[in-house]
Structure 1
Amino acid sequence: MSSILIKDALIVTMNPNRDIFRGNILVEDDTIKAIEKDIQRIVQIFDLNTSKVIESRGQIVIPGFIQSHVHLCQTLFRGQADDLELLDWLKKRIWPLEGAHDHDSLYYSALLGIGELFRNGTTAIIDMGTVNYTESNFQAIITSGIRAISGKCMMDSSDIVPDSLIESTGESLQKSVDLLEKWHGSDNGRLHYAFAPRFAISCSEELLIQVRDLAQKYNVKIHTHASENTTEITLIQQERKMRNIVYYDHLGITGKNLIMAHCIWLDDKEMEILRQRGVRVVHCPVSNLKLGSGIARIPEMLSKNIHVSLGSDGAPCNNNLDMFTEMRIAALIQKPLYGPTAMSAKQTFELATLGGAKTMGLEKEIGSLEVGKKADLTMIDLNKIHCSPSDNVDIYSQLVYQARSSDVTLTMVNGRVVYEKGNLTTIDEDDTIKQANIATKRVNSRIGLS
């Protein structure tokens, strides 16, 4: 049994009482075994001679961030698809690049993304892979130690999807089921599978119906995009004769196991469907701004008790995977529309922690620091000039409006330290950067990019 003691930290628990206090956290194996204000209470119960001791010296410990929508397969394409709207971004750059991936390029793309996520305190993700080589994605997840829901992207129907990514309906379904049966629950449940039809534009109705039935059969999530862009809405209305959310509801796909990224362009009927069905909405504010897609009506969703969490989306439409940036922008962009009290710092921080846990269906295991939950946590040093003075400052305001990813000093997933004091511990950072640069040149050459 391995033990880690974090001493003298300011603990932001996110427990039901939202307790914040200076104290100590004892981790045994993958679980939080004790949280105590008085170190002697831990000393009396546990043998600390076998523990690794981390002296926090008053740093802040929070639940690890949970990014509810990312594309690890796209990290390799950062900076190569800027200043484009969604469909041009996909058709001209992202889809050709995804279609040019190989086993190794996808592996290092995923590893590069995970390394960045660890450095900014993210401990869990909901990831959408690309169509091919999904096992490379999964291998990077297992090797690195991140907690994830991930799945093979599914696309079987569209004139705009390149041949390198289009599949037959049967092939897409069979490959997805094969991956699910091999990888779902891997590494003691740290990796879960989700069916990932990209969006309605690129998926046949037959595929979507089969995904609905298979997700119910295997009791797994469905992860997709919806209502991100006005052109997308127009195309769906022309092809399927319904608005996006109405169409998914018509097919019987909407429910608590459905994770929908974006949901910007909704009418009131669609908003009500999300509320009634318990659909999990993922807000990606930086991506939505960069692609010019729009601003989702998040305060209205929250007022209707629609469940919302946060994600960075892919590196080429962001261009980073930093939850501190997502929280700050998520809070700020709503204030000109709904007033300065909209999206408070505390509410925004909840979306990045407990909100993500609920979206993953893991709220009983992660998202807060409580005895018996998994030891997924992040340590942050706010004793910096950009966070001073700190007296009488609300801690959530500090975390959302002032903190930066460079302030993260430790990230732990499942009781395993994956980042500490500037160094990744499960990823060879220098080699990953080197291999990613080599892979980028190789992938680009396949589609005629220098």
Structure 2
Amino acid sequence: MQSLLIKNARNIITMDNKRSRIPSGSIYIEGQEIKAMGVDLPYETAERVIDARNKIIYPGLINTHHHLYQTFTRNIPFAQDVELFDWLLTLYDIWRHLRPEDVYLSAMVGIGELLKSGCTTTSDHFYVFPDGVSDQLIDEEIRAASELGIRFFPTRGSMSLGRSKGGLPPDEVVQTEDSILRDTRRLIETYHDPSKFAMVKVGVAPCSPFSVSRDLLRESAHLARSYRVRMHTHLAETKNEEDYCLEKLGLRPLDFMEETGWIGNDVWYAHGIWFNKDEISKMGSCGCGVAHCPSSNMKLSSGTFPIIEMLKAGVKVGLGVDGSASNDASSMLLELKIMNLLHKLQHGPTALRAEDCLHIATRGSSKVLGWEDGIGSLEVGKAADMFMVDASRLEFAGALFDDATLPIVTGTAQVDMTIVGGKVVVQDGRLVHTNEEQLARRANEAAFRMVEIAAKHTKIDYRKMRATAVWIGR
């Protein structure tokens, strides 16, 4: 079992129950587990020793909602200035041309960005399975996560209600319900690890009320609970979704979830903007969680998440970057700053402090994922998941008055080191396990190919983008 000693840190921000800080602290790790923390530890050597002088150490950030496959469709001009439904309709025509290698490369890029921004655990919601392409696409994401070294919580998404049946997505990206349930079982049985130091856990995640049937929701809930895995879906993201549910289903979104078994302490929703007070109270009493995705909600003009009401009601709240196509980045540190500023504007300057935001992105997110026994804080017995920033960097000059909030209030997008399970995966701001320049080139080639193929099959003339884009090899 490999040992690691991190010594003489400027400060350790633990995010334990007391939000303790350990100036001049050290951490001793064996395997994935933190064995000791404090000042003047009785450990002088280990298989690897890191001198953390001038470094501030934080618990790894935990991303509770993402769509890694969307990394190749960010900054698409036709999807920049529209609301959710039009955004989806535009991008479905590109996503329908996804291939396994695209999924792998997009996951490599998205996960790489996350790791470089201090994220050590990410969930993912994959729900687009183009007709005629292998349905083993989440396997490609798991391969990427394993190579880069992040702790991964993929959720097997699904869409069964295409346009011919009254749903929003095109028929080319939906699947039969039997195939969805069969592949969900395969993924759980192949990859899910229930242990507290697991590198992969799997969840069940039908996409949304406007893309799946009642039957699929009920069967998915039954399947998830039979395997004791968690459940995830989009809910109450936009007013259009609420109107759709009332018109097509005769119920508000949360009532529809309750009718189909999608409420409880093993469930978390993405977005949750348009819940009313009674619904928020119900969610708090039954233990539901919500992934707050501020950048995406702002970009798509979806609304502002009622975070203060949620927290007061006891709803578990975590942070999510959402898909890159509705964020244009996968930076958890940037998301933290945006969350902090958004809710100062919405609720007043003291409603949600920067350290509260850090707590939501660590402890809060771990509760949303049902993983608080292993991750979310730096404590003896928990996983050695952390990131470090060098306090001597130029962008921190004049800001060294509160170590706990330094990278949030300054808006830094990149960390100096990230450690997952006691293994260094980002060093000196660069990924350890891949060549970033080669990866970027392969990713750009794949992204341009997808858009060019889409241009041949849609009314939107994506080819016009060639006039302003700098294409690979030109």
Q: TM-score, normalised by structure 2?
A: 0.90
Q: Deviations over 1:232-253 (max 9, x none)?
A: 1100111111111121112221
Find the partner of 2:139 among 126, 131, 135.
135
Aligned residue pairs total 441
Q: Deviations over 1:388-434 (max 9, x none)?
A: 3345x23333232124123x110011111110003211223122111
- Cα offset for 1:319? 1.1
Is 1:76 the counterpart of 2:88? The answer is no
Is 1:217 the counterpart of 2:226? The answer is yes
Q: Deviations over 1:268-309 (max 9, x none)?
A: 221122112111111100110001111011011111121111
Where does residue 168 of structure 1 map in the other structure?
176
Question: 2 CA distance for matches of 1:207 and 1:329?
Answer: 35
Where does residue 435 of structure 2 map in the other structure?
428
Partners of 2:127 and 2:206 within 8 A in 1: no
Q: Deviations over 1:364-397 (max 9, x none)?
A: 1111111111111101123334333345x23333
Partners of 1:100 and 1:164 within 8 A in 2: no
Give the letter aligned to residue 6 of structure 1. I
Is 1:234 the counterpart of 2:239? The answer is no
Sequence identity percentage: 33
- Cα offset for 1:438? 1.6
Partners of 1:115 and 1:427 within 8 A in 2: no
Give the letter aligned to residue 32 of structure 2. D
| Alignment map for 1:100-139 (pairs within 5 Å) | 100-132=97-129, 133-139=137-143
Secondary structure at 1:405 match in 2: coil
Give the letter aligned to residue 276 of structure 1. S
After superposition, the CA RMSD in angstroms is 1.6
Secondary structure at 2:317 match in 1: strand
- Cα offset for 1:130? 3.2
Secondary structure at 2:417 match in 1: strand
Give the letter aligned to residue 126 of structure 1. S
Question: 2 CA distance for matches of 1:182 and 1:397?
Answer: 40
Secondary structure at 1:151 match in 2: strand
Secondary structure at 2:404 match in 1: helix
Partners of 2:339 and 2:357 within 8 A in 1: yes
- Cα offset for 1:331? 1.7
CA distance 1:379–1:309, shift in 2 (3 Å): same
Secondary structure at 2:64 match in 1: strand
Partners of 1:34 and 1:42 within 8 A in 2: no
- Cα offset for 1:262? 0.4
Question: 2 CA distance for matches of 1:390 and 1:194?
Answer: 40
Give the letter aligned to residue 52 of structure 1. R
Question: 2 CA distance for matches of 1:382 and 1:59?
Answer: 6
Give the letter aligned to residue 30 of structure 2. E
Partners of 1:72 and 1:129 within 8 A in 2: yes
Where does residue 375 of structure 1 map in the other structure?
384
Is 1:397 the counterpart of 2:405? The answer is yes
Where does residue 468 of structure 2 map in the other structure?
none
Question: 2 CA distance for matches of 1:397 and 1:358?
Answer: 21
Give the letter aligned to residue 314 of structure 1. G
Deviates more, 1:228-237 or 1:125-134: 125-134
- Cα offset for 1:310? 0.5
Deviates more, 1:129-138 or 1:190-199: 129-138
Where does residue 470 of structure 2 map in the other structure?
none
Give the letter aligned to residue 165 of structure 1. V
Q: TM-score, normalised by structure 1?
A: 0.94
Secondary structure at 2:425 match in 1: strand
Partners of 1:387 and 1:403 within 8 A in 2: no
Where does residue 49 of structure 2 map in the other structure?
53
| Alignment map for 1:22-421 (pairs within 5 Å) | 22=23, 23-39=25-41, 41-43=42-44, 48=45, 50-80=46-76, 81-93=79-91, 95-132=92-129, 133-159=137-163, 160-185=168-193, 189-390=198-399, 393-406=401-414, 408-421=415-428
Between Structure 1 and Structure 2, the one with more helix by share is 1
Secondary structure at 2:205 match in 1: strand
Partners of 1:158 and 1:201 within 8 A in 2: no
Question: 1 CA distance for matches of 2:200 and 2:391?
Answer: 32
CA distance 1:98–1:152, shift in 2 (3 Å): farther
Partners of 1:15 and 1:369 within 8 A in 2: yes
Q: Which ranges of structure 2 fall in alignment gaps of 5 or more residues?
A: 130-136, 456-461, 464-474
Give the letter aligned to residue 109 of structure 1. S
Q: Which ranges of structure 1 fall in alignment gaps of 5 or more residues?
A: none
